[in-house]
Structure 1
């Protein structure tokens, strides 16, 4: 219901941004049939409805007294991810392709096929939608919706670690340790096309090596790699991991993605 409302997708995506959550001035005090049918369906209404259904929880109060709402658990997080993925990538071909690409990354630690899918299929969809949230969040959400698998992984996004927040970590569940799935951590950065003084067409025409050589892109790759190594060390210590694979990922506009092993 929420996903189909105007700007409903924005609320679901913002909820997945666990570092900030959803901020609203106040929670609605009640919901009746009339409220659902005729009330203004703004962000406070949608977030309050999700709260009363138990798929958002009150986690704090902001500096201006606004309520901070976050997704309460992994089961609820799966509902958000699945709904956004179904909304954005609804075709039979998408449903066949996504598991294959994700499983390749789980087993091989190679982001290349997944990145090609994001550039060629996913970014054109996201760039044509009128969202008010940041492109950096779009990049993160794109990877999260493609890689989320709570059957195999503890999907930990925005986990507080070493005085910072991990963007996305995929830690193999204890009861799935007999599989060959890798433990994975991804840190995301974003470079706007205006900063590069390039058009989308120019960026699309460049090779991965040419993009990586751009000073602004390389600086973000280095920063993401540094964060990945720092958070990875803390995460490995917490969970006793011996082979956590680390990745630095940089979105360039909503056109290209470059990455490197950290």
Structure 2
């Protein structure tokens, strides 16, 4: 029996409790070579947190005695880099920061999280610290400075991991549309988020931070902070990291083969399962090289496969509600300039949606500008996982489309309903579409392009 780590991003727990772990440690040497400060973007629920947890366990000096247990049978365990288990590791997760309240409350919410992590750090690493770390309740940046000074004085390198760096800032932005003053107060001028990243930049330049790895969904917040943090290497479009998060076709085929044996599925049933997963869950490419393999969303696949293993049949609902984008984000995307035109274009499967290149550094003002709205809108939808790169046009431009039927149902159809109401759409058609998307047994009867009649 396979124990799928659905919703579990704790590498240590996954490895010590015998849960499924798809090895990505072969990328660690390339990540080390890529730079000391890295930014890596992927859509929600794509395994970013597990990646950071893997790095934390690999570099943590306190995990040295467990290296063989955690990594011995993985790729990096056979040929580890010299940096393994050499660092004190500080982790922040901005998805835990509340986006509620005014600017003062937002600042305190951020400070509370940082101080909590600083306190946990000083307890966890107290045996290595030769000086104390002070915590300042109303100034977590000062707490962070105290930590970096203490670590440097103790002679150890420090690795900072930041998960979902843009999460609470995006929440603030999308809650308040069209009056984004709170968001701008976070990232512009002397806003607290910009000030925090200036402190990270300063500590790195002074040798107090050896490495920084940042994950998020889009480059908008990073771009809006401009000079606050302009020293990182962006690796989220690099060919070699296309499969850093996600599930490959070969891995999925092996998992389905194992479950088919367990459930005694016929060859035809096994192929039907693979086709269902392909049509509903596949379709993401995170680089410009169209020869690179598309990857599957791991959260969606684990949702489907664990039910298949338990009941030997597909889940009754093909859509995993945990992947839903909240209503505020949907309203925000639909309200952007050229939103209606872009959505019409996306929904028209006969029309080609193409760009010369993705925008990988753009702030919120660029998104708002009517004259550049289409390019930024398409790029933003790509980062959110609503669109992906599917090929090249005859002119050599990148071609974008909706990755799969789950995304069409969760995002595009919701956007369409909010922005393009059609009086001709009957309850019968809506019920047909809903029934199709929810009933995974319908999948073998259709190819991806055949579903437009229900949309």
Q: Which has the larger radius of gyration?
A: 2
TM-score normalised by L of structure 1: 0.37
Higher strand share: 1
Higher helix share: 2
TM-score normalised by L of structure 2: 0.22
